[in-house]
Amino acid sequence: MPKGSTEARGGLYQALEPLITRPGLGASARNQRARLAALVMVSAITEAIVYPDMTPAAASGLEADLFIKGLTELLESYSL
């Protein structure tokens, strides 16, 4: 793992916390939700962009606009 990448991810998690978490959650729950949201987002984007012709990205058959819409809806529903 490149030096500094863990710290950089920490910044991503902190930025995601207010976007993906709901009021009333404790700090640990907010951080956990932000980390899972980041993992889902980064994994899905990597799969769709870096490996678009391999499974499961190819098998999904999602066009870019549907992928973006679906990923956004997925993350929004997670924050409810």
Task: Show the DSSP H helices in 21-63 as ranges.
Answer: 27-50, 57-60
Q: Collapsing DSSP states into helix, strand and coil, what is residue 35?
A: helix
Do 14 and 34 form a contact (C-beta atoms < 8 A)? yes
What was the pLDDT predicted at 69?
A: 93
Domain ranges for the chain, please list them.
5-78
pLDDT digits (tens, 9 = 90+) for 29-79: 888 888 888 888 889 988 888 888 887 888 888 888 998 999 989 888 887
